[in-house]
Amino acid sequence: MEKSGNYFHLINHTADAAFDIRADSLENLFTEAAKSMYSLLFEELPASSSQKTDLALSAYSVEELLVSFLNELLYLISVKKRILYPIILLKIDSTEKSIRLNCRAGSHKISARKLARLTEIKAVTYHQLNIKRTDKGFYTRLVFDL
């Protein structure tokens, strides 16, 4: 039985972690992709935060934008020790030359006792990444190098 609505699903994949992600909109696909990545990294996610962070990115393709978005979230976790969650607003616009993403999310300081790390992600990959529009919204497979 096929699931409906927005979701991510972990699939078996050798030496990496892969997810099939479906959503009713491109923005929700990006949000589900972030949640899938966070599910590998953290046992539980923080509650809402009064502190907010804005993020703006651009790319030449929607796949490149998704990888850039997730890599930016990974950078913030690894280097700045912050997790952006929950995603409050995510908007994607396209122009003739690029695709832009604007995001607003709760911002939390990561401390060892509050957010235990489950694993390390080396990279978000382009392997099997192809965002497709379907009759139910959008679909992609996303592979993380662990």
DSSP per residue, the chain? ----SSEEEEE--TTEEEEEEEESSHHHHHHHHHHHHHHHHBSS-----S-EEEEEEEESSHHHHHHHHHHHHHHHHHTS-EEEEEEEEEEEEE-SS-EEEEEEEEEEE--TTTS-B-----EE--TT---EEETTEEEEEEEEE-
Q: What is the pLDDT of residues 62-75, one digit of tens each?
A: 999 999 999 999 99
Residue 46 pLDDT level (bands cut at 50, 70, 90): confident
pTM above the 0.85 mark? Answer: yes
Report all structural domains of the chain as residue ranges with CATH numbers, in order of start: 7-145 (3.55.10.10)
Q: What is the mean pLDDT of the chain?
A: 90
Mean pLDDT value of segment 46-65? 93
pLDDT at position 5: 76
One-letter amino acid of 78: S
What whole-number distance in Å separates Cα of residue 29 and Cα of residue 22? 6
Mean pLDDT value of segment 2-29? 84
Residue 59 pLDDT level (bands cut at 50, 70, 90): very high
